Amino acid sequence: MKRHFHIITYGCQMNRYDSGALRTLLEERGHKWVEHPDNADFIVVNTCAVRQHAENRALSRLSMLASMKKKRKNLLVGIMGCVAQELGEEIVQKIPTIDFIVGTDKMAVVADIADGGVNGKIFTDIDKEFRGIDIPAHIEKGARSAFVTIMRGCDNFCSYCIVPYVRGRERSRSPQKIIAEIKNAVASGIVEITLLGQNVNSYRYDALDFPALLDKIAQISGLQRIRFVTNHPKDFSPKILDTVEKHADKIPPAFHLPLQSGSDKILAAMNRKYTFSQYLRTIEQIYRRFPDAAVTTDIIAGFPGENDDDYSATLAAIDKVRFAGIFAFRYSVRQGTAASHLEDNVPEEIKIARLNEIIRKGIHYAKTYSHNLIGTVQKVLLEGDAPKNPGFLRGIAPSGRIVLFPKNEFADKIVPVKIEKAGTWILWGKI
């Protein structure tokens, strides 16, 4: 039986990529994608377990979808991704009518279930060799930008983080497969690729390391821009900067370098394996070579044992680095992680107050970064019409900022735009 399917995706870009690859696989098997879950008879929720809040959201959506099964007899509803791997069977207790639970290494089974004739409903075995289903992820019509996963899993075991438990050990994909996938994307109109991995800096396939892979990818003709996430400060090397400099026309100096905390005591408790002064040295190298680099970061507020001094050290770190953007999170205990054995002892209202101040500071520096671009000419990757601003086109600057400019029929894939006005995350200009 051919299915009408829909995939709902929570979590990081890696989940979005996996959902896109699964979509291609299901379509190749003859099933039909539908834009709305109401029209589907096969619904998959791809889930994120990184914080309790993310997990709750995905599970409540799943319950709602499963409750539709009462009225729609042939509807199948299942879960995949990080929460499926984390909770496995437990999900049946929460949502008894769920049809399937498929872990991160087993995602291809979802297609077999859609085909019919699969026995059982829980597939959460670990497969240390699984490197993705090796099928080009679905590309939306007219899209200019796409993700390509270069590695799966993580070996870093930051003490707060569940990812190594739900995504398994680090595995790099072969450069041949990565390059073939990028060429294929370029042939269908893609000009910008974002390389994905929990820590792309530790990519290694035989003798090929991350800077060497980046160098190879930068030579693919037709590919105009390359981004990559995420970097780990302990593994970020000057060799990466050499490669970025060598391919300055293609690789923008935009670096997401999660700091997590400005306090050395907390960094050690988080098992991050760097001190703030080491982090700062990396940042200074970046700014020395790329004065207009966009450095963005992640910060966790209220990790166990974080006192006022630790928190002040984080604020001081933000002032020193002047990030182009900060993603800040309230610490969330994840069962099974090393930090889950520490007392979650920062009161919730203090966590929230610290989080809010970090966000406020983040916005201040994001605005400063954007304002400093006024008067410069930015090479903007054109995405298309600006949905909320009729008469304007929308594109992405090398820094990742959104740029809006008046419609121009001569606009090509990458357009030089002179910036005249700036908000926090959006720039306005003219060709």
The footprint of ligand F3S (CB under 6 A) covers 11-12, 14-15, 48-50, 81-82, 163, 166-167
Q: How far is the CB of 161 from ligand SF4 (least distance, A)?
A: 3
What letter represents residue 203's amino acid?
Answer: Y
- Asked whether position 232 contacts ligand SF4 by CB under 6 A, the answer is yes
Give CA–CA dist 236/256, Å, rounded. 11
Phi first, then psi, for residue 66 (nearest 5°) are -65, -30
DSSP-derived 3-state class of residue 188: coil
Give which of 23, 26, 7, 134 is closest to 80, Cα–Cα: 7
Q: Which does 255 bind (CB under 5 to 8 A by kind): ligand F3S, ligand SAH, ligand SF4, none?
A: none
For ligand SF4, the binding residues in 373-412 under the rule CB under 6 A are: none
Q: How far is the CB of 163 from ligand SF4 (least distance, A)?
A: 4
Give which of 276, 223, 226 is closest to 252, Cα–Cα: 226
Chain residues that interact with ligand SAH, rule: CB under 6 A? 50-51, 160-161, 163, 198-199, 230, 232, 258, 260, 298, 300, 329, 331-332, 334
H helices of 262-382, in order, are 264-269, 276-289, 308-321, 348-371
Give the nearer residue to ligand F3S in terms of CB position, either 65 or 166. Answer: 166
Q: How far is the CB of 359 from ligand SF4 (least distance, A)?
A: 19
Give CA–CA dist 153/164, Å, rounded. 6
Cis before residue 230, ω within 30 degrees of 0? yes
Q: How far is the CB of 194 from ligand F3S (least distance, A)?
A: 14
Burial code (b: 16+ CB inside 10 Å, e: under 16) for 240-254 equals bbebbeebeebbbbb
32 class by beta-carbon count within 10 Å (0-12 exposed, 13-18 middle, 19+ buried): middle
Structure tokens at 408: 């121009």
Q: Which does 49 bind (CB under 5 to 8 A by kind): ligand SF4, ligand SAH, ligand F3S, none?
A: ligand F3S
| Residue with nearest beta carbon to ligand F3S | 11
Q: How far is the CB of 327 from ligand SAH (least distance, A)?
A: 7
Give CA–CA dist 257/420, Å, rounded. 29
Q: How far is the CB of 133 from ligand F3S (least distance, A)?
A: 16
Given 58, 158, 267, 283, the residue binding ligand SF4 (CB under 6 A): 158
Q: How far is the CB of 209 from ligand SAH (least distance, A)?
A: 18
Q: Which does 331 bind (CB under 5 to 8 A by kind): ligand SF4, ligand F3S, ligand SAH, none?
A: ligand SAH
Given 40, 45, 84, 161, the residue binding ligand SF4 (CB under 6 A): 161
Q: Residue 368, by phi and psi: left (phi above 0), alpha (psi -120 to 50) or beta?
A: alpha
For ligand SF4, the binding residues in 168-207 under the rule CB under 6 A are: 198-199
Give CA–CA dist 151/259, Å, rounded. 21
- Asked whether position 157 contacts ligand SF4 by CB under 6 A, the answer is yes
Q: Which does 101 bind (CB under 5 to 8 A by kind): ligand F3S, ligand SAH, ligand SF4, none?
A: none
Give CA–CA dist 224/172, Å, rounded. 24
Give CA–CA dist 23/7, Å, rounded. 8
Give the nearer residue to ligand SAH in terms of CB position, either 51 or 354. Answer: 51
Q: Which does 228 bind (CB under 5 to 8 A by kind): ligand F3S, ligand SAH, ligand SF4, none?
A: none
Q: How far is the CB of 168 from ligand SF4 (least distance, A)?
A: 11
Q: How far is the CB of 259 from ligand SAH (least distance, A)?
A: 9
Give the nearer residue to ligand SAH in terms of CB position, either 42 or 160. Answer: 160
